[in-house]
């Protein structure tokens, strides 16, 4: 049994921004402490991500000081995409099972690229420190200078409507490598189809087509090259 090696390049489809909402336990503790602090009572608004105004700075997926797309998100996307691809003639294993068992990424995450460059987290941290008490409009302006925007909308939670804020990347990309265990279950043409279908129908991150409440975000085009 041998391995085939690939390079992938994914780019957000036109009109399909990427919305981030990382569930970071440590960051959540920081936010919880701020909201419980009686000194912040006058600035606190229940159900509003602008309270505090820098809440969104905790929603980036990040590693080693840069904003990233975690490998686990990519795997989940491809496994779900594999559900809609029939196995080739004479093969019993589904594409979904083959992806889960035979496709291996070469890193835990891959840099999110904006205009071909990674978004460095120190800039995001500086944005938070500089604007800790600044109006939200200043956060929006500074975010734009770093290559992203802040998506602000109301979301129904029970009978109430909460204000949600998400980092939004309108033009985004990622590049990386992966390997496939060459046992015949994932031929080259299936690999290409897998990424195409996953990018178009599953998507990545928040409010994507495959979410519990489907949305138009996180769709991508993929270029797959064997190396």
Q: What is the pLDDT of residues 80-113, one digit of tens each?
A: 998 887 766 555 567 888 888 889 999 999 999 9
Give the HSE-up count for residue 42: Cα atoms under 13 Å, Cβ half-sphere.
2
* Residue bearing the bigger pLDDT, 212 or 182: 212
| Separation of alpha carbons 209 and 198, rounded Å | 10
pLDDT at 132: 63
Domain segments of the chain as ranges: 2-226
Q: How confident is the model at residue 165 (pLDDT cuts 50, 70, 90)?
A: very high
**CA dihedral over 109, 114, 116, 122, signed as positive or negative:** negative
Cβ–Cβ < 8 Å for 153, 19 = no
Tell me the pLDDT tens digit for each residue of 19-51. Answer: 999 988 887 788 888 888 887 777 778 878 888
Q: What is the mean pLDDT of residues 65-69?
A: 94
């Amino acid at each position: 049994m041998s391995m085939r090696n690939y390079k992938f390049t994914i780019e957000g489809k036109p009109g399909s921004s990427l919305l981030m909402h990382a569930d970071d336990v440590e960051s959540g503790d920081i936010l919880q402490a701020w909201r419980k602090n009686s000194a912040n009572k006058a600035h606190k608004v229940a159900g509003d991500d602008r309270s505090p105004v820098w809440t969104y700075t905790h929603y980036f997926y990040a590693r080693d000081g840069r904003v990233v797309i975690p490998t686990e998100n990519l795997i989940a996307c491809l496994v779900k995409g594999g559900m809609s691809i029939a196995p080739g003639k004479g093969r019993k294993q589904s594409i979904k099972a083959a992806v889960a068992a035979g496709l291996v990424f070469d890193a835990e995450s891959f840099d999110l690229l904006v205009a071909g460059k990674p978004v460095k987290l120190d800039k995001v941290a500086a944005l938070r420190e500089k604007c800790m008490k600044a109006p939200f409009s200043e956060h929006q302006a500074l975010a734009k200078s770093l290559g992203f925007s802040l998506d602000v909308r109301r979301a129904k939670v029970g009978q109430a409507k909460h204000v949600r804020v998400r980092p939004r990347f309108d033009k985004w990309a990622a590049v990386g490598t992966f390997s496939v265990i060459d046992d015949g279950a994932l031929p080259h043409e299936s690999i290409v189809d897998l990424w195409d279908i996953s990018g178009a129908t599953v998507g990545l991150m928040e409010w994507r087509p495959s979410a519990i409440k489907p949305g138009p975000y996180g769709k991508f085009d993929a270029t797959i090259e064997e190396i």
